[in-house]
DNA sequence: CTGTTAGCGCATTCAT
DNA sequence: ATGAATGCGCTAACAG
């Protein structure tokens, strides 16, 4: 003998609570609240009043389950949110997807490859509508699995390995080549390289650009001046200090990302040499360091926004698929962001 | 005449798919997958094999709905993720809640007060397990509503207004007073103030500290040297430039946050004066600006982690509540992070 | 225009 | 040790 459903305090009101209060069926209440026009205006008002009185908000969890679509969430997989590159990416992504009513779930992996696998699996289990990832390693099977499972995946700043997906890249090779060429054109012949671990795609592409610039100029690139593996400024500073302490030290350094550039800057300042400095990624206060500085610049906000747009398109496509015929996936897209050089300093 | 459920390609496998493949009931499969011991080892293995073969992952949406608890998501409400203060906060929060299997949903409001209201309501509708917020304004009714609705709320860097909740604060008043006092002790008598809009709690507290330091020293604080309302470095630079252009300009500036400090730095450098500079918040490269700089420092990562911990405790408390008696909420906690001064520069 | 039936995927309760 | 029934909150698909 079920009691007449009392809206228990503490528990959020359900559709049925609203329906009972308005003395209609749950279905009618549902229609009103989703603005289905096929309801008598008088009834509509009663339901609306009841919902307002109860402070009713539809349970999105139940809604997701029933509708079978996703949850309106987008997963964002990055290695280190404290790095301004990633936080700007996150902001760019969020600004675009939010316009489609989607929210962003962040997954910060901190370089942990296994963690990234679990994270992606968990996002899929949570039925996110899509995933934007900057994978830490070059093994992308976990992302491939997600994509196979029907979850749209967009990669940012790295191309997919071993599967197909949309991606937004930066012209890593071209930018690095151009910056290195500029150092060479200024007469530098021994140029050190500081970069991320070899497994990171951008790092190796940027190293390729550095090497290519040397080849373009008909000059050798001295492998003993290449230091890869630094992820944080402290490590980069250490590596740079080592390079500057060589018997025949480099007269210039090229760094593959902002973490390494900052570390190298500190090393140069500390040793008091007048080593020239160039690097990939612009960063706040780069103009204020009192040192000449050549940076490879690109629109990092736009990178995030583009990733967001690519994902939103795929999500829309998937939503439509139910109604239309399954017409195969549109070709995967690869957007490459151009780079430019900026000069800072005295 | 229902077909024997074929695991349709593209659609993720369900518990029933696993059960059929293992030739058991859905219930048994469910038990196995949740490590319920009351299953025959042989059956257990069959189910596990079937799940592995199908790549089964439980649908977390359905799980949430059934269990009636939250979704394992934590909402994080901030105004600007591009500001390193907020991205560090996000990282600190995420690192703590992730240890409890929770994921962080970011909501970036960009100072939009209405947007913040909607965002919070949406997070509640999505059944997040809790919310950590740095509200943009001083009207906290939307947060109060969430808290009333049974969603634990923790405020970071601002105290709750008009309702009760846990919060983590920085010693805004004390830090600002100390920094201003230091400027005064160096003989500065005209100290400008640059800060966020008056509605921002931290800004007004820090202004109070600035004023108190003057009072402590028995000196007047000249209201005409106070500029509030700057949110970004460009605006701060503009305001600082105005101050420095006064007939009787300040000989020192105190800034209520890193955005204003950076703007003030640019203004000082551009005008070439030797104005002393102090500010709230440490920031990357503050040591490299070639200017003496006094900063109020605190552990901003710990701030995020503390907020995360407070929230996790509340969430655990709520989980337990079902089983135990409803024993009332533990008293709300207010953690204040201490500040210190750091000196940078030549 | 409104209500009834049914089920999304899973887990709790109660059988067997 | 296993299974059947039931319902979380919501909404399509069909009545009426």
What digits encode the pLDDT tens for the residues B173-197? 999 999 999 999 999 999 999 999 9
B43 CB within 8 Å of a chain A CB: no
Q: Which nucleotide is nearest to B65 (CA to C1')?
A: D8
Looking from the CA of A291 toward its CB, the CA atoms found within 13 Å total 27
| Joined tokens for residue A344 | 């800072």
Q: Is the CB of B67 under 7 A from strand C?
A: yes
| Sign (positive or negative) of CA dihedral B45, B50, B52, B58 | negative
How far apart CA A105 and CA A109 sit, in angstroms, is: 13
Shortest CA–C1' contact from B2: which nucleotide?
Answer: C7
- Scanning every strand, the nucleotide with its C1' closest to A65's CA turns out to be C8
The owner of tokens 């200024």 is A186
Q: Say if CB B298 and CB B337 are below 8 A apart.
A: yes
pLDDT at B297: 96
What's the whole-number mean pLDDT along residues B35-48? 88
Torsion sign across C-alpha atoms B121, B126, B131, B136: negative
Contact at CB, A55 and B145, closer than 8 angstroms: yes
Residue B27, nucleotide of least CA–C1' distance? D3
Q: What would the pLDDT profile of B223-259 be if each residue is shown by its tens digit? A: 999 999 999 999 999 999 999 999 999 999 999 999 9
> Is the pLDDT at B213 greater than 90, yes or no?
yes
d(CA B21, CA B23): 5
CB–CB contact B55 A104 (8 Å): no
Q: How high is the pLDDT of residue B336?
A: 97
Residue B268 has pLDDT above 60, yes or no: yes
Give the span between the Cα atoms of A280 and A206, in whole angstroms.
Answer: 8
Q: pTM of the entire structure?
A: 0.91
> Inter-chain contact A60–B11, Cβ cutoff 8 Å?
no
The span from the CA of B307 to the CA of B331, in Å, is 16
Pairwise CA distance, residues B60 & B68, whole Å: 12
Q: Is A11 on the interface with B (CB under 8 A)?
A: yes
Taking an 8 Å cut-off on Cβ atoms, the answer to whether A81 and B91 are in contact is yes
Chain D footprint positions (protein CB, under 7 Å)? 1-5, 7-13
Averaged pLDDT score across all residues of chain B: 91
Torsion over CA: B302, B304, B308, B314 (sign): positive
Chain B, 118 to 147: residues with Cβ < 8 Å from chain A are: 121-127, 145
Q: What is the pLDDT along chain A (346 residues), one digit of tens a residue?
A: 333 344 555 688 999 999 999 999 999 999 999 998 888 898 999 999 999 999 899 999 999 999 988 899 999 999 999 889 999 999 999 999 999 999 999 999 988 999 999 999 999 999 999 999 999 988 999 999 999 888 999 999 999 999 999 999 999 999 999 999 999 999 999 999 999 999 889 999 999 999 999 999 999 999 999 999 999 999 999 999 999 999 999 999 999 999 999 999 999 999 999 999 999 999 999 999 989 999 999 999 999 999 999 999 999 988 876 554 455 667 899 999 999 999 998 6
Q: In sequence order, which residues have a C-beta less than 8 Å from that of residue B320 and are 6 or more positions away?
A: none
| B202 contacts: CB under 8 Å, gap ≥ 6 | B157, B158, B170, B172, B196, B256, B257, B280
Q: What is the CA radius of gyration of chain B?
A: 27
* Strand D contact at CB of residue B68, distance < 7 A: yes
Q: CB distance from A84 to chain B under 8 Å? A: yes
Nearest CA in chain B to A109: B95
- Is strand C in 7 Å reach of the CB of A25? yes
User: Does nucleic acid strand C have an atom less than 7 angstroms from the CB of B324?
Assistant: no
Other beta carbons within 10 Å of A163: 15
Q: Point out the least confidently predicted range of B197-201, B249-253, B276-280.
A: B197-201
Shortest Cα–Cα distance, B329 to chain A (Å):
13
State residue A122's pLDDT score: 93
| Alpha carbon distance B99, B97 (integer Å) | 5
Span CA (A197) to C1' (D4), Å = 56
How far in angstroms lies nucleotide C10's C1' from the CA of residue B20?
Answer: 15
The predicted pLDDT at position B4 comes to 36
Contacts of A220 (CB under 8 A, 6+ apart): A214
Task: Return the sign of the alpha-carbon dihedral for residues A141, A116, B69, A30.
Answer: negative
Residues B96 and B304: their CA atoms lie apart, in Å, by 8
Which secondary structure element, helix H or strand E, spans residue A115, and what is its range? helix A113-125
Distance in angstroms (rounded) separating the CA atoms of residues A322 and A108: 33
Give me the residues paired with residue B191 across strands.
B252
Q: Which residues of B touch A126 (CB under 8 A)?
A: 60-61, 71-72, 103
Calpha distance B250→B242 (Å, rounded): 11
Rounded to whole angstroms, the distance from the CA of residue B62 to the C1' of nucleotide D9 is: 11
Which nucleotide does the CA of A17 lie closest to, via C1'?
Answer: D9
Nearest Cβ partner of A84 from B84, B90, B104? B84
A/B interface, count of CB pairs below 8 Å: 137
SS (H, E, C) chain B: CCCCCCCCCCCCCCHHHHHHHHCCCHHHHHHHHCCCCCCCHHHHHHHHHHHHHHCCCCCHHHHHHHHCCCCCEEEEEECCCCCHHHHHHHHHHHHHHHCCCCEEEEEECCCCHHHHHHHHHHHHHCCCCEEEECCCCCCCHHHHHHHHCCCCEEEECCCCCCCCCEEEEECHHHHHHHHHHHHHHCCCCCEEEEECCCCCHHHHHHHHHHHHHHHHCCCCCCHHHEEECCCCHHHHHHHHHHHHCCCCCCCEEEECCHHHHHHHHHHHHHHCCCCEEEEECCCCCHHHCCCCEEEEECCHHHHHHHHHHHHHHHHHHHHHHHHCCCCCCCCCCEEEECCEEEEECC
Find and give the residue nearest to D8, measured CA to C1'. B66
Minimal Cα distance from A318: which residue of B? B10
Judge whether B126 and B116 are in contact, CB under 8 Å: no
Per residue, what are the HEC states of A258-302?
A: HHHHHHHHHHHHHHCCCCEEEEECCCCCHHHCCCCEEEEECCHHH
Is the CB of B63 within 7 Å of strand C? Answer: yes
Phi, psi of A32 (to 5 degrees): -60, -45
B34 CB closer than 7 A to any strand C atom: yes
């Amino acid at each position: 003998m079920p009691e007449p459903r009392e809206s228990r305090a503490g528990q959020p009101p359900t559709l049925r609570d609203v329906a009972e209060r308005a003395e209609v069926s749950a279905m009618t209440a549902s229609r009103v609240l989703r603005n289905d026009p096929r309801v008598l205006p008088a009834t509509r008002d009663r339901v609306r009043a009841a919902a307002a009185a109860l402070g009713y908000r539809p349970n999105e969890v139940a809604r997701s389950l029933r509708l079978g679509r996703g949850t309106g969430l987008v997963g964002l997989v990055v290695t280190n949110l404290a790095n301004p590159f990633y936080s700007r990416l996150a902001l760019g992504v969020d600004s675009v997807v939010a316009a489609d009513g989607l929210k962003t779930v962040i997954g910060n992996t901190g370089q942990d490859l296994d963690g990234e696998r679990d994270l992606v699996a968990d996002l899929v289990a949570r039925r996110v509508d899509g995933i934007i990832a900057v994978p830490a390693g070059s093994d992308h099977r976990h992302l491939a699995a997600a994509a196979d499972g029907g979850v749209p995946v967009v990669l940012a700043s790295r191309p997919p390995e071993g599967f197909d997906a949309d991606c937004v890249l930066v012209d890593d090779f071209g930018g690095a080549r151009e910056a290195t060429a500029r150092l060479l054109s200024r007469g530098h012949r021994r140029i050190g390289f500081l970069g991320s671990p070899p497994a990171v795609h951008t790092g190796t592409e940027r190293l390729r650009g550095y090497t290519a610039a040397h080849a373009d100029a008909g000059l050798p690139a001295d492998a003993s001046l290449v230091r890869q593996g630094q992820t944080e400024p402290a490590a980069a500073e250490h590596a740079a200090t080592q390079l500057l302490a060589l018997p025949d030290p480099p007269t210039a350094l090229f760094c593959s990302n902002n973490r390494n550039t900052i570390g190298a800057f500190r090393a140069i300042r500390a040793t008091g040499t007048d080593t020239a400095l160039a690097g990939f990624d612009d960063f706040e206060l780069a103009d204020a360091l009192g040192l000449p500085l050549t940076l490879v610049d690109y629109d990092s906000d736009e990178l995030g926004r583009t990733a967001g747009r690519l994902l939103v398109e795929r999500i829309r496509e998937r939503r439509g698929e139910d109604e239309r015929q399954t017409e195969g996936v549109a070709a995967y897209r690869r957007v490459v962001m151009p780079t430019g050089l900026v000069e800072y300093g005295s």
